Amino acid sequence: MRSPFADLLKEVARGARGARHLTFTEAREAADAILDHTASSAQIGAFLTAERIKTESAEELLAFSSALRSRCEDTGGQWLSEDGLDIVDPFDGRRKSFLSAIPAGFILRSLGIPVLFHGVLKSLPPKRGTGLYDVLQALNLPLFTGEADSKTVYQHCGSAFVNTEAICPPLGRLRVLREELSMRTLFNTVEKTLNPAGNARVITGMFHQSRHHVLKDFLSHLTHYREILLVVGVEGSGDLFVHRPSVVWKINPRSETAQEFEIDPRAARLNPVVNRLSMTTEEQAQATQTILAGEPHPLRDLVLLNAGVGLWLMGHTPSWTEGVEAAQEAVDGGLVASLLQKWRENSQFFVDRLSSD
């Protein structure tokens, strides 16, 4: 007897002319079968490949995001009473750029905004590049990556790293299959939208602007966020360029509206450095340390731009240009360096606290 999943697979794998998008209900049924592994590995691989060729619809992405979120260990409420920000770099990492999201995030935290970095412990296909966890670890920060541990660190420090494969165990179980497929799948998009901490906002990116209509439609239905900033960013990340203007959309899911903005770094007289660099993890960490210590660095203005846009998104400043000024003051005034030092000093506290729980 053929399984219901096989019928859904047939619909998305009919070829260029015959394939169709699934309805939300159908896509949710497919997602449940994949995440609960009632579909076989061969069927799952075929489905993800067919979706990649067909390209996913907003409803399909929404169904898979909903299915993943329902399987998260902790989505019952806010981890902190303050409005926080999710920073979600691509889980397949970076190969040719500096992760300015990390120092930018720490600038926001030094100004009182909680920041939760999302990622995985080992970067996924297709890039298998440098990820957030790699650089945060190289900064010698006390990272505790279990679900309960991340929550404790976040509640105490207002900043932490969460391992999404721990928060959402079905994602962890799919890793072997994703490694074998070695290509981008719809999970590369939806795994960044889970919001386990109940944060108010998220910055996320895309690589191809031609997909912005689908992604805007998808993100506009994620009502567990108050606002979403969608960026045509560096290597598909949420990092804006500093050598040329960037297009961003500020999305309000509760009203299903999206405003388009052009962020032109020339308006803030920023140094137009091209963020196309091959850097080791150690070099990424060293550059981050140098910039946040207030020392001269070629990538400093790249970080200030991204921090400024984040401060504007969070309502800390009325404009992104004023956000750049606030970010510069935080760095040059030593606020960010002090924040990192305090986090490191809390290492033994977390060891004692987590081992006693």
Q: For residue 162, tell me if it sits in a domain.
A: yes
Q: What is the pLDDT of residue 239?
A: 98
Asked whether residue 218 is assigned to any structural domain, the reply reads yes
199-203, 223-227, 351-355: range with lowest mean pLDDT: 351-355
pLDDT digits 0-9 by tens, 214-228: 999 999 999 999 999
pLDDT-wise least confident of 179-188, 202-211, 326-335: 202-211
* pLDDT bracket for residue 2 (50, 70, 90): low
Q: Is residue 185 domain-shared with residue 238, that is, in the same domain?
A: yes
- Based on the fold, state whether residues 191 and 306 are members of the same structural domain: yes
**Is 328 within a domain?**
yes
Residue 71 lies in a domain: no
- DSSP secondary structure string, 294-309? T---TTHHHHHHHHHH
pLDDT score for 351: 63
For residue 86, the SS3 value is: strand
pLDDT at 76: 63
> What is the domain count for the chain?
2
Whether residue 355 is predicted with pLDDT greater than 70 in this model: the reply is: no
Least confident window among 36-45, 290-299, 335-344: 335-344
Q: What are phi and psi of 54, to 5 degrees?
A: -70, -30
- Assigned domain for 345 exists: no
Which residue range is the domain that position 16 belongs to? 4-54
The reply to whether 112 and 197 lie within a common domain is: yes
> Does one domain contain both 23 and 130?
no
Pair 103, 38 in one domain:
no
Specify the pTM.
0.94
pLDDT at 289: 97
Average pLDDT, the chain: 94
User: pLDDT (tens digit, 9 = 90+) per residue, 22-65?
Assistant: 999 999 999 999 999 999 999 999 999 999 999 999 999 999 99
Using pLDDT thresholds of 50, 70 and 90, give the confidence band for residue 346. confident
Tell me, yes or no, whether 228 and 287 share the same domain.
Answer: yes
Say what the pLDDT of residue 74 is: 72
Tell me: do 136 and 199 sit in the same domain. yes
Nearest Cα neighbor of 353 from 66, 47, 144 is: 144
Q: Beta partners for 230?
A: 204, 249
Indicate if 108 and 218 belong to the same structural domain. Answer: yes
Structure tokens, 216: 């805007």
94: domain CATH number? 3.40.1030.10
pLDDT at 121 over 60: yes
352 or 334: whose pLDDT is higher?
Answer: 334
Structure confidence at residue 356 (pLDDT)? 64
Q: Is residue 347 part of a domain?
A: no
Do 49 and 90 fall into the same domain? no
Residue 144 lies in a domain: yes
pLDDT given for residue 199 in this prediction:
97
- Burial (0-12, 13-18, 19+ Cβ within 10 Å), 243: middle
CB 232, CB 206: distance < 8 Å: yes
Q: Are residues 247 and 157 in the same domain?
A: yes
Residue 15's pLDDT is what?
Answer: 86
User: Do residues 252 and 316 share a domain?
Assistant: yes
Per-residue model confidence (pLDDT) at position 203: 98
- pLDDT over 60 (residue 1): no
Exposure class string for 60-80: b at 16+ Cβ within 10 A, else e: bbbbbbbbbbebbeebeeebe
Instruction: Answer yes or no: is 155 within a domain.
Output: yes
Same domain, yes or no: 175 and 232: yes
235-265: pLDDT as tens digits = 999 999 999 999 999 999 999 899 999 999 9
